[in-house]
Structure formats: structure tokens, C-alpha cells
Amino acid sequence: MEPGWRCELSAVHLLRLRRHTQDDDTLSPALRLDTFKMAMHTMADGPVAELLLRRLEASDGGLDSAELAAELGMEHQAVVGAVKSLQALGEVIEAELRSTKRWELTAEGEEIAREGSHEARVFRSIPPEGLAQSELMRLPSGKVGFSKAMSNKWIRVDKSAADGPRVFRVVDSMEDEVQRRLQLVQGGQAEKLGEKERSELRKRKLLAEVTLKTYWVSKGSAFSTSISKQETELSPEMISSGSWRDRPFKPYNFLAHGVLPDSGHLHPLLKVRSQFRQIFLEMGFTEMPTDNFIESSFWNFDALFQPQQHPARDQHDTFFLRDPAEALQLPMDYVQRVKRTHSQGGYGSQGYKYTWKLDEARKNLLRTHTTSASARALYRLAQKKPFTPVKYFSIDRVFRNETLDATHLAEFHQIEGVVADHGLTLGHLMGVLREFFTKLGITQLRFKPAYNPYTEPSMEVFSYHQGLKKWVEVGNSGVFRPEMLLPMGLPENVSVIAWGLSLERPTMIKYGINNIRDLVGHKVNLQMVYDSPLCRLDAEPRPPPTQEAA
């Protein structure tokens, strides 16, 4: 087709074109479809609307868009497009949207209505002398058809045959009821089937109930069969000639939504992360640098007073690096103090009483928690004199050798808060946790004693989940041990309280996601990222309940 060439076809010509393209065997199916679609597009611009108005003029009450499409032999969407274009002209027509349900065959159902059910095909494939079961199972309908034909008692299996199990017919003939029922639906007689019969076909995924939306079209107050094109733009020529005075203009719709500009969209994790970050900033916290995914075992474990034989340091829990396998730079004076605390004790502790190895501490790994970044920040703080109280936070990625399932991935995000000051106690930790979680909209809290290698005392934080009607864990917390803080050089009367939680769990709860692999990873539906709303964590104040200890 030459550029700029335009089809001007009447409705009758288009219907003839449809029949011609369908009956012309010289055209490929794809070309016949493309030709008809091009014709339908031209039809929707005017001829369909004119044909609709003429049919409406001749009718007594109104027209159903689906019935009209069937009578004209065209796609229903073409008629719907004509209805909407006429609605835009004003009160020419009135259109009422209606929804009706009907039964349709699935692709497999259409095949069975044409070729017969799987069990019937299996029955027909068995000769009088029988058929080896292994050979029958290789047939396209073998597996499904065999079980159905057995339950219908059309066939039997002789397991005593010399060449293995053999299948024989039990009856001479059978009636393919499945095919007959599907053909009834195909012929528009679904009402002849009982509810049980339809239910059985639905279970086999041969039948589906679909909702059809149609328009009931009737004459409007300004009905007319002649359509005058309304202008949508005021041109300079209209103004200079004055012709705009005699031309009808399409009224502006000031309530219509504009076209959304193409732009990037934030992932739900980033939206929730932004809200958590804002809460920390409102509470006066400073964000710690967490840009090193690769960490040495020293900062990830040893500096936290976690012994070198701890199970978390095994390869089945941690990703170790082959290249570079070891960290080259460590603060050796601090390393010696950590070594002495582990192997001999100190600062009021007897240590772990084992031979601490520098080679083990130098091993590089993918950090298993952001507490390694907290250890680095506290060490830097200890080098500054005099000591100044601080409040730190971090939100970043960590890595663990987890078994992948609906709630666990090998990488996830950890949220961590750290407060260092003189004389902090467990009561201060509870108070900060209550303030933090209240800003998240979580006010019903319980604290349960727990164990962590680098905090003492330690607490798990539980919140009452209104939807699940039970208490669920929302975080972990504790007071850093002196064996961790004093080797850094922090004053003896300085305490550090800390807590942490994951970013993925609250995000999944917020956006109603049940499988973490639908949130992160290669299976993520990008449309979910596009459609997800802004994150607004529920921070409305509620009367605080009595604090309980679990």
C-alpha cells in the first residue's frame, strides 16, 4: 500500500471484504487477518457508526452491541468503538453498560469438541488384540485418557501378559458424553447441561465461565442519522476567515485525565526503605556508610566477639570469597586486643579460651549482616576524643547461604539502629524501640529474652498482628557486650544499644505479597513495580497498651 493512500469503504463493502478474505484460499491466514483488521479499523472511524444509527432508527427500543456485531459478522470491539465515538458527540445516543455471563470452551475444550475426548481417543486406539500399556502411555492422550477410560470401565489392564501389562477393551462401543456436552456449549445450548456436568467440565479445564460486557444502545434526545464532524482544534485559518463561527466544536472535558508521562518507577522495596529512612532521620539518627558488600571475617565476626568456631562461620551459612580470599589491611593494634579478649579474656570477661587465628580473621566473605558496618562506625567513634554520643542507622543488603523458599532468599536487606551514650540500659532500649515502632504504626509490643553472641542482654521484639490474630516477631535487639566495645577504645561507662529487622518482611506485608520471589529476583513482574502505590506507613497515634514481657 502506497503511503498516504486511504481506504474509503462502505459498511457493505467491508462485510464483503471480510467474507472474501475468509474464503480466499490464496491468502495466508495471517494476511487474511491483517487485511480484515485494517478494514475494521477504517470501519470504526465512520461506517460502523452510521450503520449503527440506521439500525437504531429502524428499531423500536434499542440494540444490544453484541447481537449487532453477530448480525453484521464483525468483532464486538468494532461496535463498542462506534458506540463510544457516538457518545462523544453529545446526546445522539444513550448507552447502558451491561454485564452477562456465558460459558465458553477453552482451547483444549474446542479440540475435544472437534476430535473427541482423551478417553474416547484411547478407547479407539486399542485394537481387539489389546495394546501394551507402555505403548498406550506414549500416545498424546495416553496418560489422561487411560485414567478416565479406566474409571468409565471401558478398558481393563491384564498385568499377567507375557510382554508386560496389556490393555484390552471391556465394551464393544461407548458414547463420548464429554464431546457431546462440549458440542452443546459450542452450539449455544449450555443451559441444557446440569450444574454437575458443567462443574465436571470446569474441573477438567475444558469449560470456562466468562463475563461479557455489552452496551444497550437507545436513541438520545439529539438523535440523528446524519453525523457532522466536530472540530477539535481552532486553527489560524478559521480565525482569519471567520469560519469558526459556523463550525461545531467538540466540548472540552475538563474532568478527563491527562496522558501519564513515561517515567521510571520505584520498586516497592525502595519506597518502604525511603519511609524507614525518613523515620530514622526524624528521630535524629545519622546514616552509616555501608558501601562494602565484601567484608573480612574480622569485622563481620571477630570484632563482634563471635568465636571462630561459631556455626554461623561455616560455609553452609556464609558465602566466602576465593579471589581475593583474604583482607590485606586490618588495624593490627585493635586486632591484637580482639585476639587477647577471645583467647585469654579481659575487661571483666574470661573470653572463649581457644587459639585465635589471624588467618581465619582475614578470610573475605559477603557480609552476613550490617552489624559489621556498625562495628566499623563504633571503632571510628572510639578514635575521636573526647567521646560524643551518637545515633547511627543503616539500611542495606546482606548475604546468607539460605535455602530458597517463599520467605527466604540468599540476599536481603537489613535495617539497623545503634545508639551510643553514657549509662544506657535495657530500659532505654525498650523506650527507643517503642518510639521507633510507634512511628511505623506498631504499638502493641512484647519483648522476649534471647541470645546473641555480641549482645547481653538480648531481646526479640514481637508485635500483635491484627490480620493473623497472633504475636509475630518483628525484630531483634540488645546491648552490645563490653568484650566488643572496650577493645575498640570506647570509655567504660559508655553503653551501646542496637536493634535490627529486615526490609523485605514489612514490604511484603504492606503490599500483600506472599512469596518473596515475587518481590525480588528474576521472576518479578515489572507491572507490579509500575502499579504499586506510594508507601505510607500507618503512623497514627494510638493509646499505648500496657507493656508486657513474654
DSSP state letters, 190-230: GGGS-HHHHHHHHHTTSEEEEEEEEEEEEE-TT--S--PPP
- If one compares 10 and 52, the residue with the highest pLDDT of the two is 52
DSSP for 91-134, written as a single string: SSEEEEEEEEEEEEE-HHHHHHHHH--HHHHHHHH--TT-EEHH
391 - beta bridge partners? 419
pLDDT at 106: 92
* Closest to 43 measured CA to CA, from 54, 55, 51, 53: 51
DSSP for 305-320, written as a single string: T--TT-GGGSTTTS-B
Instruction: Using a pLDDT cut of 70, give the percent of the chain over it.
Output: 87
pLDDT at 239: 93
| DSSP one-letter code for 158 | E
**Range(s) within the chain of domains with CATH label 3.30.930.10:** 269-531
Q: 318 vs 297, 330, 371, 550, CA distance in Å?
A: 10, 21, 15, 31
pLDDT at 181: 92
Please check whether the domain covering 269-531 is classified as CATH 3.40.50.1860.
Answer: no
Confidence class of residue 538 from pLDDT cuts 50, 70 and 90?
A: low
Q: Can you tell me which residue has the cell 436513541? A: 219
β pairing state of 294-296 and 207-219: unpaired
93 - beta bridge partners? 219
pLDDT in tens, 324-379: 988 888 999 999 999 999 998 888 888 888 898 998 999 999 998 999 999 999 99
**Range(s) within the chain of domains with CATH label 1.10.10.2330:** 107-207
pLDDT in tens, 114-152: 999 999 999 999 999 999 999 999 998 888 899 999 999
Instruction: Classify domain 107-207 by CATH number.
Output: 1.10.10.2330
Cis peptide leading into residue 386 (ω within 30°): yes
- Grid cell listed for 436: 521507633
Q: Is the pLDDT of residue 5 over 70?
A: no
